[in-house]
Chains A and B, each alone.
Chain A
Amino acid sequence: MVSQIRLRSSLLMAPALAWLTALMVVPCALVLALAFFRRGIYGGIEYTFTLENFGLVFDPLYAGIFLNSARIAGTATLIAVVIGYAAAYAIAAAPRRLQPVFLFFAVLPFWSNYLIRTYAWIVLLNREGLITQLLRWFGYTGEPPSMLYTEGAVIAGLVYNYLPFVILACYAPLSRLNPELAEASRDLGASAMTTFRRVILPLTVPGIAAGAVFVFVLSIGNFVTPALLGGGRFQMIGNLVYDQFLTANDWPFGAALAMALIAIMLLVLTAQALAADRAAGRAAEAKGGADG
């Protein structure tokens, strides 16, 4: 009986495992292997073992790009969390039957292509774009503001693209929150602000953390948004990797950079998983205590 269940579950798992192995594990292993070889003189690969590529990752020039990427991704995460949490809060406070409608509109941009959405921002931020025209319409006559190809444009693009993740992640705990908890806090003498800080926020932190990790991990490795909205002037790791593979033709160094990026992402995801696990463990321990 047990072995039958096991057999059935392994059969059900098989396609997914095959998919992951063929398209995730094998390519990653290949890229990892690539990172230990030397670049050939004419851009090919020379199959001699070296650690040089990883040494180069820590070169101040490239380490600086890593730090810059982390800063941009961090800023985008912070802004997305503030805007997304506020939106999720408003949706959770709306009448029950309207909430699915608002959530639908929040994730609607996801239904269109990422590139098209990013191009739309070019139309907006362009020197003669929508915003400039709007300013003119209000009587502005000065120089058109330069908004496109700035770090701000990159951050705006990242925030815009990943905001729905934050809204969905924060909506879940907010909509489950017993409204009587906030009332109890008010009843005990707390202002609305104190109630938010001491009751609502601590109880919805897991949602914020999940949304923030999503935005950060997706942002730090992004190369489309910095390429299109940053105009190549604000290089992030993703662009650097792209350049090594397709422009500089230095595949081994590109592979080493990609591995470093994966390592950072794994670090962030592991930290979040551990924190979530600890919280779940505390809850389980608490439950066990009540039974005993």
Chain B
Amino acid sequence: MSEPRTLLAIDKVSKNFGRVTAVDRISLEIRENEFFALLGPSGCGKTTLLRMLAGFETPNHGRILLDGHDIARTPPNKRPVNLMFQSYALFPHMSVRANVSYGLEMERLPAKEIRSRVDAILATTELIPFADRKPEQLSGGQKQRVALARALVKRPRLLLLDEPLGALDRKLRGAMQLELKRLQHEVGITFVIVTHDQEESLVMADRMAVLRDGKLLQCDTPHAVYEHPADRFVADFIGVMNFVPGKATADGVKAADGTRIVGTVPSPLASGAAAVASVRPERIRLFPSPETANRIAGTVEALAYHGLDLQLHVRTALSPKPFLVRVTADAADRRPVSSGDAVELGWDAADVRIFAD
């Protein structure tokens, strides 16, 4: 397979509001037909970046290249980019059909073509029965689909989605995550989604960028970001992580109580520097075999049953916070544990990530 083509290149883009730097020299490349997520806590600059892509903000520095052309100063109505708003921003005085037709009317297309394209997108988004309703007569999920249809019918080069699932309840959100991915595949349009929900970006994105304080921390596939976080913040922000603070050694981290956690130390970290060793809850085994590199004794403090798995809080001498351990329902059935039990935790050196602290 040939290398995927770059559709959008964000080149050292900065944006300040007065003395506040919302976006700080961010460079990113988004590929053709990709589902790309901009992830970060609130105030990280992801929404400002999205609004610059849509044309509602102009960067102070840098270029935004779409198919090689700088669109940083092109007004929003002149770019082949559409935004699905967080509030959906459906026109309340227009029917679903009128909302969806609006963008095509602006292109002055013939009425017949508008009608057939609107019919097609209403069918794709399963909105045909609601075509004559007003937005206030729709449920949250239906509104979301109208907002999506209204943007997609324009066949943009790039579709931007601002927290598209934020207003939906948890169960519906799960269904819509898969629905959005299916639609993206079907229409073959590049999606850029902004979210603060790390789980959402892990599920949906082909690649994701993690932002904090206007800076880009990491840009990679969800798998790479989850398994090889760039720094301690990313490791903590994405998923759940157990941290053991200590000092860097040649082959790991020495915890405050003298316990050695074996793992690969990243090259910039000098021996003796403050460091933190980390391991994911699902990589920890209860009652490990004797040859496991890292083993530590602890006491079960609390258990939480989640159906699919059992989550344990295990108190150890390694860190002030208890270790979080996930045991599959299957393993928990074979060797049940209960609160107060003494257990041994073990994990491989390959599952340890070490960061500067």
Contacts and interface: CB of A to CB of B under 8 A. Distances in A.
A39 B307 CA distance: 96
A184 B54 CA distance: 10
Interface string B137-162: 11100000000001100100000000
A180 B51 CA distance: 12
Nearest to A195: B77
B75 A290 contact: no
Contacts, number: 68
Contacts of B138: 290
B237 interface: no
Interface string B146-186: 00001100100000000000000000000000000000000
> What range describes how many residues of A lie at the interface?
20 to 34
Contacts of A186: 55-56, 75-77
B136 A287 contact: yes
B136 A188 contact: no
Contacts of B87: 178, 180
A289 interface: yes
A199 interface: yes
A188 B75 contact: no
Contact of B154 (A183, A189, A194): A189
Interface residues of B, number: 29
Interface in B65-92: 75-77, 82-83, 85-87, 89-92
A181 B150 CA distance: 13
B324 to A, nearest CB: 39
A189 B106 contact: yes
Contacts of A194: 106
A184 B89 contact: yes
B353 to A, nearest CB: 40
A186 B79 CA distance: 10
A203 B89 CA distance: 13
A177 to B, nearest CB: 10
A200 to B, nearest CB: 11
B83 A187 contact: yes
B103 interface: yes
Given A188-B106, A287-B136, A289-B133, A203 B92 contact: yes
B76 A183 contact: yes
Interface of B: 54-56, 75-77, 82-83, 85-87, 89-93, 102-103, 106-107, 133-134, 136-139, 150-151, 154
Given A181-B92, A283-B136, 10 more contacts: A181-B89, A183-B89, A184-B90, A185-B91, A186-B77, A187-B76, A188-B77, A194-B106, A199-B91, A286-B136
